[in-house]
Chains A and B, each alone.
Chain A
Amino acid sequence: MELFLKIAFLRYIGIYLYNFFNSLSLSLSLSLSLIHTHKQHPFSEQTPRTNMETSTNTSTGTSEVSDKSNRYDRQLRLWGDHGQVCLEAAKICLINATATGTEILKNLVLPGIGSFTIVDGNKVTGADVGNNFFLTKDSIGMSRAQITTDLLMELNEEVSGDFVEELPEKLLENNQEFFNRFNLIIATNLQEKPLLQLASLLEASEIPLLICRSYGFIGYARLVVSDHTVIESHPDNSHQDLRLDRPFPGLVEFCDSQNLENMSKKEHSHTPWLVIIYKYLQKWKEENGGEMPKTYKEKTLLKEMIKNGMLKNENGITEEEENFEEAIRNVNTALVKTSIPSEVKKLFEDPTLQDINIDSKPFWIMLQAIKEFTENEGNGALPLRGTIPDMTADSNRYIQLQNVYRDQALKDADVVLHRVQDLLQRIGKEEPIITPKQVDLARKPPYCSITEQDVKLFCRNGSFLRVIHCRRLAEEYDPKTAKVQELAMQLGDEEDSDIVFYIMLRAADRFFEEYSRFPGWYNDQVEGDVYKLKTHVGKLLQELSLTSTLIKDDYIHEMCRYGASELHSIAAFMGGMLAQETIKIITGQFVPFNNTLIYNGMKQSTITVEL
């Protein structure tokens, strides 16, 4: 009975969560009524929408049926259809179905990951059921892998799941090949030795590893991925790419065709501010020996010039011209010198570019092409992004101006495309470039092709390209290569840096290795364990050549209080965050953390350190 009900609820939240922002009662009652017809697809009755969606979706290149774009509507607005395609193709492995582990999977199953596999050799305990939503009282004593798999699958019928009832440590010994079939592996509550073993195994096959654990009020996560490239990092704030300091021919031509002196009042007040700044900038340069205004004072003078250019009525009173106001407001940002962002410059120096070969990922091939572009046709600038912000203007001239930028961007992208083709020939890839199909650029070799669309997307995001190289886990654990200075700085400088919990967790693992239990596991040993843990903390610090005074006894006490308990809300917090990190890696969009994260639930704070 209980199982049945839990399943019913899972189904409820599963469907509900897709719709949770469809806040109208209509959609809510619709989704609710679907609980009972879950075999059917949620919107299958709504044929009008189906037809329509397929017809409108053709432009995106996917022929996904309508129900999917309805179900995933709210997230498709974040990572797009192409992100969803990656997600639906992904195979994820979870090691140990702890509360933290299943919470991560829950937030991956809901948005529609391809498939998951749970590896867990444990039987369900009463304590497990107490903190894990995907277990039931009835399942005590049964396979934890199996029960959690069953209940997780109830969340989304699009997702397939299976399980291996075996201790991961054993599987690592007996069947290393097993792990190679996944796109990403999530490991929770794995001990140091098997963890290092798994990390080195995955390193060889270039499979990203996400390590996670919840411990009392503390959460810990570590990402191990050798080379993660991001084209669409979706920055929150970014400078426009307007090139007013180095106008391209199309822009010059367009601006020259505009004569502010000679316009009707209506035209004058509907001239895009880009043109206005361009005009007054030319004037400024004429009067100042061709120099741009650089200082604050000079920019203020330019603003004055623009202000004086506003129309006046017959009484000499300045008319209200929103476009001129906008121009004045935008002087500072619009005159920022066109340059290559430092992040991207750093990428141009990446050693990977020295050795572009037939196995290189499309990202690096396109990066090399862009680099060559900046050194040649681009004259030190990236390909033009090709978009302009909205501004007060009449439709006609705004669209014209938009096209001016768009056309130049296409020209730049075309040059890059040719450079990509040359590069491919040089490295001995015969394949023709243009195939109008979506490929996942973040994937490992072998790649079939780079499409024209890919190059355009790459150029559009030229300023936002990112690469994450995580240090190897072995480097972190080996005292010779550990980032001791980083640790010392964190522990020493800020008195209460949460990084102290990193040391605590490492020490707790050492404790476990010696006593086969975590410090404070049993109520009657808490006090005694404090001293034992303190010894391990001391030893660890010594190995890392850190002074033991860096760590207050309070933290050792707190650690023993936790007794390796896994609080559900801490697990749920980590579950949300790490699901998102997984999605970032799978879709190749947004930027993952690098590489160690500590969450302190006491203070609701997180800290990210590269260890």
Chain B
Amino acid sequence: MAINIFFFFSSFTLLASPHTHTHVPTINDAGSVNFSANQSHFYLFFYLPGFFFTPNKGKDLFIIDNKMDSEWSDRWSHLKKILERTGPFTHSDFEPSPETFNFLQESFRILVVGAGGLGCELLKDLALLGVGNIDVIDMDIIDVSNLNRQFLFRPKDVGKSKAEVAAEFVNTRVLNYFDESFYRQFHMVVCGLDSIVARRWMNRMLVNLLNYEDGILDQASVIPMVDGGTEGFKGNARVITPGITACIECTLDLYPPQINFPLCTIAHTPRLPEHCIEYVRILMWPKEHPFGENVAIDGDDPSHIQWIYDKAIVRANVYSITGVTYRLTQGVVKRIIPAVASTNAVIAAACATEVLKIATSCCAPLNNYMNFSDTDGIYTYSFEAERKEDCLACSQIPQTLHFTEENKLRDIIDYLIESASFQMKSPAITTLISGKSKTLYMKTVKSIEEKTRENLKMSLKELGLSDGSEIYVADQTTPTSITFKLSLTSQMEK
């Protein structure tokens, strides 16, 4: 069994495990780490976080290769019954034989994205289902970029948080280190993420891998994705066959809109304890710099939360608002989503079962979306999510944006962020002006942002864009930029 683990995050390099001395792995030139044989696959799980890394000399990708350990009698007897016997409900491709299990053990290779609550469960479940080659990307980075959601809650003119900067930094690295050929190595991808952005990114990556010849999809280029998500006592699991069934972008409207308190409420008519906390977070912090000029709020720093809590209490008292607690403060500042082990266990297990089905054809897979909730009894609901005809990701239909020449660049940006079918985070726009690439706006790099900020106020006409011009939009939600054709009318025509 081999489990490969990839880390992007350099903070891990500082962690040394005291346990490594018992079994120091050797790192060869290829960045591949070999353990001596006769170790359980669980070894790897342990090394997942605590593994001793050398600082990244241009090498951020580590492969830990664990040799298959010696078998023992009956080890897979439960599983083999399912894989070696015929049944009335198997997929039509299913051929019961020991070969199926061997494929699962030897050849099948799966990428697990996310090693958090769901990811942890997934690793355990897949390993105990006989999956032999598991690669894990700890998408901690994308979890960090998940904090970009905070940005959504925040009025546009408030400065960037540290986390946001970190996220963009890492996103760039994801792009650099993992190109399409990396993802092509896998038979399947399973995601256990708590970030919608990360999911969308991965989904698009898999869609990008599709090959079309004369408009016909090359089946060999399809890498199925099993995706799970949880929140409190609710969760969902889904199977995505890129190019064939609904993808994440097809069903973007399934994600609930973010709750956003209007700034004027926060500033002038607070009514809820949350309004008071947001007041401190959004308006007082950038003004007072309680921990120094350039110190952004760190939700994990108790002194930061305490400061916000204390100030929020003061404000709440002014308005006789009750209910500001430390826990609420932390929840609002960190955008905490309640979570329990049990829901993660349920959803990860459903995903793992789907992986087994698709990998072995031992049963027809879920078609294609399952919702789960257990606040009132136990409830599941499955349905077939439908493809969106003009899906931004998986349709072959070119995207067109309709504006007038007098529209400002900001209008396009706002539209890309606010429109339900795009929901971008911080789109960067470039175009070709007389054959030369020109960046019209990019928020994520400070120096470019400063240089291009003025463009936001300029009309499309002033920027040299005309009807039929193409713009290229980059965003955290996609690994490659998206081409939009502009359909511009002049004000007169309108």
Contact = CB atoms under 8 A, between A and B. Distances in A.
Contacts of B28: none
Contact of A53 (B75, B77, B326): B326
A131 B76 CA distance: 8
B256 interface: no
B40 interface: yes
A567 B79 contact: yes
B329 to A, nearest CB: 9
Interface stretch (B212-220, B374-382, B412-420, B437-445): B374-382
Contacts of B9: 25
B82 interface: yes
Residues of A contacting B: mostly: helix
B376 A233 contact: yes
A21 B336 contact: yes
Most chain B Cβ neighbours within 10 Å, of A27, A77, A563: A77
A568 B128 contact: yes
Q: Which of B124, B331, B337 has the most CB of A within 10 A?
A: B124
Interface in B342-356: 342-350, 352-354, 356
A606 to B, nearest CB: 4
Contacts of B340: 74-75, 78, 107, 111, 580, 583
Given A16-B120, A233-B376, A21 B339 contact: yes
Interface size class, chain B: 35 or more
A395 B380 CA distance: 42
A130 B350 CA distance: 19
B378 A561 contact: no
A471 interface: no
A20 B117 contact: yes
A114 interface: no
A523 B363 CA distance: 19
A127 B74 contact: yes
Given A233-B376, A554-B89, A562-B81, A140 B321 contact: no
Contact of B43 (A5, A393, A565, A591): A5
A99 B78 CA distance: 11
B361 to A, nearest CB: 13
Contacts of A234: 375
B45 interface: yes
Contacts of B163: 24
Interface string A321-363: 0000000000000000000000000000000000000000000
B73 A270 contact: no
A210 interface: no
A573 interface: yes
A74 B143 CA distance: 16
Nearest to A31: B49
B75 to A, nearest CB: 4
Given A125-B74, A604-B366, A608-B378, A565 B81 contact: yes
Contacts of A402: 271
A594 interface: yes
A133 B72 contact: no
Nearest to A79: B340
Contact of A52 (B14, B306, B348, B374): B306
B82 A575 contact: no
B68 interface: no
B299 interface: yes
Contacts of B300: 22, 24, 26-27, 30
Interface stretch (A277-285, A484-492, A595-603): A595-603
Interface residues of A, number: 114
B132 interface: no
Contact of A608 (B69, B326, B344, B377): B377
Contact of A577 (B46, B321, B346): B346
Interface in B11-62: 11-12, 14-15, 17-19, 22-23, 39-40, 42-43, 45-46, 48-50
Interface string A88-119: 00000000000100010011001100000000
A605 B140 contact: no
B87 to A, nearest CB: 4
A59 interface: yes
Contact of A56 (B147, B232, B326): B326
A609 B195 CA distance: 36
B233 A2 contact: no
A235 B29 CA distance: 57
A133 B122 CA distance: 12
A236 B376 contact: yes
A12 interface: yes
A573 B346 contact: yes
Nearest to B195: A23
Interface string A376-405: 000000000000001111111011001000
A23 B140 contact: yes
Contacts of A53: 326
B378 A593 contact: yes
Interface in B251-306: 265, 269-272, 298-300, 302-303, 306
A46 B302 contact: yes
A537 interface: no
A572 B79 contact: no
B342 A572 contact: no
A590 B342 CA distance: 14
A576 B349 contact: yes
B142 to A, nearest CB: 9
Given A77-B336, A568-B129, A577 B353 contact: no
Interface string A551-593: 0001101100111011111111101110111010000001111
B125 interface: yes
Contact of B15 (A33, A99, A592): A33
Contacts of B366: 603-604
Contacts of B302: 46, 48-49, 52
A214 B48 CA distance: 30
A201 interface: no
Contact of B345 (A74, A136, A579, A594): A579
B97 interface: no
Given A567-B79, A577-B346, A25 B140 contact: yes
B364 interface: yes
Given A21-B339, A567-B78, A572 B349 contact: yes
Given A32-B50, A130-B78, A572 B348 contact: yes
B375 A236 contact: yes
Instruction: Please list the 6 inter-chain residue pairs (A to B) with the smallest Cβ-Cβ separation, ordered nearest first.
Output: A576-B345, A20-B117, A576-B346, A23-B143, A572-B349, A568-B128
Interface of A: 1-2, 4-6, 8-9, 12-13, 16-17, 20-30, 32-33, 35-36, 46, 48-49, 52-53, 56-57, 59, 69, 73-78, 99, 103, 106-107, 110-111, 125-127, 129-133, 136-137, 140, 216-217, 233-236, 270, 390-396, 398-399, 402, 520, 523, 526, 554-555, 557-558, 561-563, 565-573, 575-577, 579-581, 583, 590-594, 597, 601-606, 608
Given A74-B336, A217-B353, A601-B350, 7 more contacts: A2-B42, A5-B46, A130-B76, A131-B78, A235-B375, A402-B271, A601-B353
23 contacts: A2-B39, A9-B45, A32-B50, A33-B15, A49-B302, A56-B327, A78-B232, A107-B345, A126-B72, A126-B74, A126-B75, A130-B77, A394-B269, A399-B320, A402-B271, A520-B81, A572-B352, A579-B341, A579-B342, A602-B363, A605-B382, A606-B380, A608-B378
